Structure 1
């Protein structure tokens, strides 16, 4: 009897051990599946949170402080009465929205700004309208301090001062979009071209004197020697000789009679609207026609007339001035 029981007991023990092993394996598999499911569920959320938390930014110092801006902004809104959008375009960045006079972009940037949202020129801007555009970077001139106060905590905002040195403005705009190196290269290339063009013009005109004017709706702007992008183009980049008595600073607005204080050999006419009652009264009047530049046919009217605050207009202006002055 004992001989029969021993094999049976051994068999029962083997069956019990086998059953326990299956139970343990099953529990392990179920636990692994649960862990995998939990890991997959967490994995679906973690990349988005990580990406949001680690979005790359840069610190840009500007006129009103510092701003944390996206490393590579995708939706740039620029608000300025001068054409800094040309600086953006020159470094390969197309803005999302810029200001436009009568819904028209500066003539030297019409092609480059196709498809860009046009915002009306205004001295005061409604912050709600800017919020609707949902920009990831806002670049504004210093005249919009109230807008900066309202939006800088919501939108990364860089403030640029409209100053006498267009290069500083250009480089700050380029830095704001992460293109400072490209912005510096733009200036280097432009300086080389200006040096070559200036040499050819000076060889032609010698010591003859120059003055830039813009005939407005009610008065005449006489540009000066310093502190304006137009002045720097003529007297620094090209190296023309300024006429006697022109202002040392950025310029002044005068009446028709005030023209008698100047008598340059050449007039560079940068009038934006070459028509109208006042324009006609100036150009047909006795004072204007008594000037040496007018009598000798040396009034050179430019089509690039936006102030020469950006490198694209400056380059086009250089070519146009050369064509007007270096005559065969």
Structure 2
């Protein structure tokens, strides 16, 4: 009798326990299925920031990957970061190229001009990284006191190689290496195509910068030397001195060299204040002397876009546009 009672009691207790478990499971299942997907907590850990040592022309810097507040003084780097979808905090807004006009917005701090950084404003931003190039190298020491500063200017004697090095540096810092690799592969293909066209044409070229009615010539190894060194145009004069500001020349020089192609960079239009009139590069170039050249007679005077060639060369966007302009000019 006692055993029977004990068995009954144990059976009842087990039934109660099982019922309780069933209710809990049902409650849990309802909670999981009715919770809105958008309200679920993402438990994935954020990517850890790593410290990189970036060596550059002016020294080296310890940089954290994916820095949040970045000041950029080089428009080529700026167009590259924009292409990669990387946001920046501060830029020099004077003479910003039209294709980068979004950075004139007040959401971006105006950190001075290309040659005169506003140290006070930059310091107030408390940036994580500052990127400069040739026009700001004299300010490097002062900028480096504010935040890690790296130099990403291109080397004109090996323009494409240094451009690729700069892009790979951006890829490391901002975790964009796969995108960088893809863009560089496209650029390599374009370079080969244009180089083959230029060499097959057998034509030579002369590059001049027009500035306030005066002319400067640029040859191989110069800031515009990509036309000769990379894209395959034979220099009309292989002895042009290599310098930042070019070799001062005259219309008589252009007529004497009689190039097949004359490539013109209009500095005045690139640096002019908005709303002001500037000297016309066409008026400077197309005088009676130059009109006797093969370039003029064959319609081969090419006015290059100074926003890419003078202000922002060396970016993922500007490099493509520069290459395409030369390709489009070959007839």
- The normalised TM-score by structure 2 is 0.68
Which residue in the other structure is 2:97 paired with? 106
Query: What do the CA deviations read for 1:208-249 (whole angstroms, capped 9, x no partner)?
Result: 211222211142121211142x312x2243222221345263
**Structure 1 regions of 5+ residues with no counterpart?**
1-50
Q: Which of 70, 74, 77 is 2:71 aligned to?
A: 77
Distance 1:184 1:133 in 2: 32
**Residue matched to 1:320:** 325
Please say which structure displays the higher CA radius of gyration.
1
In 2, Cα distance between the equivalents of 1:56 and 1:238?
A: 38
- Change in Cα spacing, 1:321 to 1:159, as seen in structure 2 (3 Å) is closer
**How far apart, CA to CA, are the structure 2 residues paired with 1:316 and 1:136?**
30
The alignment status of 1:267 with 2:262, answered yes or no, reads yes
Residue 138 of structure 1 aligns to a residue in which SS? strand
**Residue 168 of structure 1: SS of its match in structure 2?**
helix
Q: Distance in 2 between matches of 1:249 and 1:225?
A: 8
Which of 83, 86, 90 in structure 2 is aligned with 1:97? 90
Alignment partner, residue 162 of structure 2: 168
Change beyond 3 A, Cα 1:218–1:118: farther
Q: Distance in 2 between matches of 1:120 and 1:255?
A: 35
2:220 alignment counterpart: 225
CA distance in 2, matches of 1:221, 1:299: 16
How large is the Cα RMSD of the aligned pairs?
A: 3.2
Q: In 2, are the aligned partners of 1:69 and 1:156 still within 8 Å (CA)?
A: yes
Pairing 1:291–2:293 present: yes
1:243 to 2:236 alignment: yes
Secondary structure of the structure 1 residue equivalent to 2:76:
coil
Distance 1:55 1:295, change over 3 A: closer
How does the TM-score come out when normalised to structure 1? 0.68
- How far residue 112 of structure 1 moved from its aligned partner, in angstroms, is 8.1
